[in-house]
Amino acid sequence: MISLSAGWERYDGFWDNTGKYLADPEDSNLNQTRLTTGLAYRLAPRWQGSLSIPYVMNDNRYAGETSRSQGLGDTSLGLWYENFDNTMCVYKVDSLADLMPAVYLGAALTLPTGKSPYGKSKSSFDVTGRGFYRLDANLLVEKTIYPITVSIQTTYGTHMQRPVNQEYGRYVEPYQKKLGDRFQVTYLAGYTYFMDNLDTLTLNLTWTDLREKEASINGNKEPASDMAKKSAGGSLAWATMNKDWVVTGGFSQALKAAGGGRNFPVTETISLGVRYVDF
């Protein structure tokens, strides 16, 4: 499987440490474009490996000052295991077995291939990655009784500690830093419409809750470094009858309301993607 996608993200203020929403200064316009190439390969009947490589372009104006940068983002390697043998999607329920969901177990490793605050980048507007290795454990539980699909996906990630001797292009006294563990849960509800030629249109609605604990420096917690973000999204996907071609468009909006996040920018994202599967 090969996939190509583009995402346009606009920043619109941020949540402070108390969860209060604050607008950006006047004459600010913060944007990031992300072009991602994805590859997946069936390793065995139940196993699949994947690779995701993003290219990031920043185009920002903050309080009247302009900056632009581009480069690779953080690369991701993935591995998924399907805990079932037969297709778990059904058209009607004839027995209790038809109610059993599909369960996927996964792991992912994020590689710090992007520009981070701990290198030569001069400001936070120039970075394209976080600068840390991260190992994620994933669980996806999904059930489709056509035309309805519901799922829940959870991810728990832990960052690996690293030495730091630079911050935004300036050398500093060396120290050890570790970002906090993160937990993310995404709920999905979808509806699939079958066209006359058996191609499909699928509408999905999602709700995502992301939380990351405080970072640590030399083993001590870094104050006000924890993060949280809640967002709602939707997507529309067209797929051929054989599911070999899939084209998707989506939109995601972080909540501006109080309690929608903490120490995190408020973003809205538009995405487009195409995927081809060679069975």
Segment 140-193, tens digit of pLDDT: 999 999 999 999 999 999 999 999 999 999 999 999 999 999 999 999 999 999
pLDDT over 70 percentage in the chain? 100
Higher pLDDT, 257 or 274: 274
**Is residue 15 a contact partner of residue 275, using CB atoms and an 8 Å limit?**
no
Average of pLDDT values for 5-31?
Answer: 92
DSSP string, 57-84: EEEEEETTEEEEEEEE--EEEEEEEE--
The pair of structure tokens assigned to 199 is: 């191609």
Per mean pLDDT, which range of 69-78, 122-131, 154-163, 178-187 is the poorest? 122-131
pLDDT over 90 percentage in the chain? 87
Average of pLDDT values for 17-46?
Answer: 93
pLDDT at 170: 93
Higher pLDDT, 122 or 9: 9
* pLDDT beyond 80 at 258: no
CATH of 2-276, one of 3.40.930.10, 3.40.50.970, 3.40.1190.20, 2.40.160.40: 2.40.160.40
pLDDT at 27: 85
pTM of the prediction? 0.94
DSSP string, 146-183: TTEEEEEEEEEEEEPPEEEEEETTEEEEEEEEEPPPEE
Segment 230-242, tens digit of pLDDT: 999 999 999 999 9
The pair of structure tokens assigned to 79 is: 């591995």
Per domain, the residue ranges of the chain are 2-276
Tell me the C-alpha distance between 222 and 180, whole Å: 10
27, burial (CB in 10 Å: exposed 0-12, middle 13-18, buried 19+): exposed
